[in-house]
C-alpha cells in the first residue's frame, strides 16, 4: 500500500535523521523527497527473493567532487548493469541519465527501482511517471539494502578510481566497463554471466 510522504512517514524516511545538522533552519525542505514514499519494508517478497527481471537498484559513483558522476542501475535477478555519465550529482542530471538508460531496454524489464537515499535521487517523480515504475526507499544509512548495486559499484571503482575526474573518461570507456561487467561470471547465479542469464530469461519468454 502506498503511503504519501507525510508526518507518519517522516520517522522512517530515508531523509529523516536525528542528527542536529539536519534540523537547522532551511534544511527540512532540502531533505524531503518529492515523490510518494514507500518503504523497502513494503517491497514484495518476490522482489526480495529475486524472482523476476526488472527490479533495479540505483546509485551513483562519484568521480572528482563537483564533477561528473556515473549513474548505475543493477537488476536484482540477473545482476545486469547499466552505466551512464551524468554532468553533475544533482537530481536533474541524474534523472536525465536514468531516463536515457532505461529507455534502452524493453519496458517489460523495468518494474521497480530502489535508489540510494542520496539527494541526487530527491526528485524521482518524473522517472516514476515516465517509466510507470514503483519506487521503494531503503532505510537511512543502510547500504546493505542495496547490496547488489554496492558490490557492482566496487567493481566499477576498479576501472574508475575515486577522486579521478570522469570528464577524462570517454563514453566508449564507460561502455567498455559496462560490457566487461555484463560478461563477468557471478558466483550467486551459478557462475553465469549477467548477459547469459538475461538472454536465457528472454529466450524462455519467447
Calculate the average pLDDT of the chain.
84
Give CA–CA dist 60/166, Å, rounded.
12
Where are the alpha helices (H) located in 80-169, listed in sequence order?
91-102, 125-131, 147-156
Instruction: Report whether 189 contacts 197 (CB < 8 A).
Output: yes
The C-alpha cell that represents 41 in the structure block: 519494508
pLDDT per residue as tens digits for the range 133-177: 999 999 988 999 999 999 999 999 999 998 889 998 999 999 999
Assess whether pLDDT exceeds 50 at residue 19: no
pTM of the model: 0.82
102-124 pLDDT, tens digit each: 998 899 999 999 999 899 998 99
Are 83 and 179 contacting, i.e. CB atoms less than 8 angstroms apart? no
For the 20-205 domain, the top CATH level (class) is alpha beta
Q: Which of 99, 76, 96 is nearest to 86 (CA)?
A: 96
Percent of the chain's residues with pLDDT above 70: 81
Q: Where are the domains of the chain?
A: 20-205
| Selection from 118, 150, 157, 159 nearest residue 137 by Cα | 118
Give how far Cα 134 sits from Cα of 43, 110, 158, 186, Å. Answer: 9, 10, 31, 27
Place of cell 527501482: 113
Q: What is the dihedral of CA 188, 153, 114, 146, to 10 degrees?
A: 60
Amino acid at each position: 500500500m502506498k503511503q504519501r510522504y507525510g508526518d507518519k512517514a517522516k520517522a522512517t524516511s530515508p531523509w529523516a535523521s536525528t542528527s542536529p545538522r539536519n534540523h537547522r533552519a532551511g534544511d527540512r525542505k532540502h531533505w524531503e523527497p518529492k515523490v510518494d514514499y514507500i518503504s523497502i519494508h513494503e517491497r514484495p517478497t518476490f522482489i526480495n527473493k529475486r524472482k523476476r527481471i526488472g527490479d533495479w537498484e540505483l546509485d551513483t559513483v562519484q568521480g572528482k567532487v563537483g564533477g561528473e558522476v556515473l549513474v548505475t542501475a543493477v537488476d536484482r535477478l540477473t545482476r545486469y548493469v547499466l552505466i551512464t555519465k551524468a554532468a553533475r550529482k544533482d537530481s536533474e542530471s541524474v534523472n536525465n541519465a536514468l531516463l536515457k538508460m532505461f529507455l534502452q531496454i524493453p519496458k517489460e524489464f523495468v518494474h521497480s527501482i530502489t535508489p540510494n537515499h542520496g539527494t541526487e535521487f530527491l526528485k524521482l517523480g518524473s522517472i516514476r511517471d515516465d517509466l510507470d515504475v514503483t519506487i521503494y526507499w531503503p532505510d537511512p544509512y543502510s547500504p546493505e539494502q542495496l547490496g547488489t548495486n554496492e558490490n557492482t559499484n566496487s567493481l566499477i571503482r576498479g576501472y574508475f578510481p575515486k577522486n579521478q575526474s570522469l570528464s577524462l573518461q570517454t563514453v566508449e570507456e564507460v561502455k567498455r566497463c559496462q560490457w566487461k561487467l555484463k560478461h563477468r561470471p557471478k558466483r550467486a547465479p551459478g557462475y553465469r554471466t549477467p548477459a547469459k542469464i538475461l538472454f536465457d530469461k528472454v529466450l524462455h519468454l519467447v
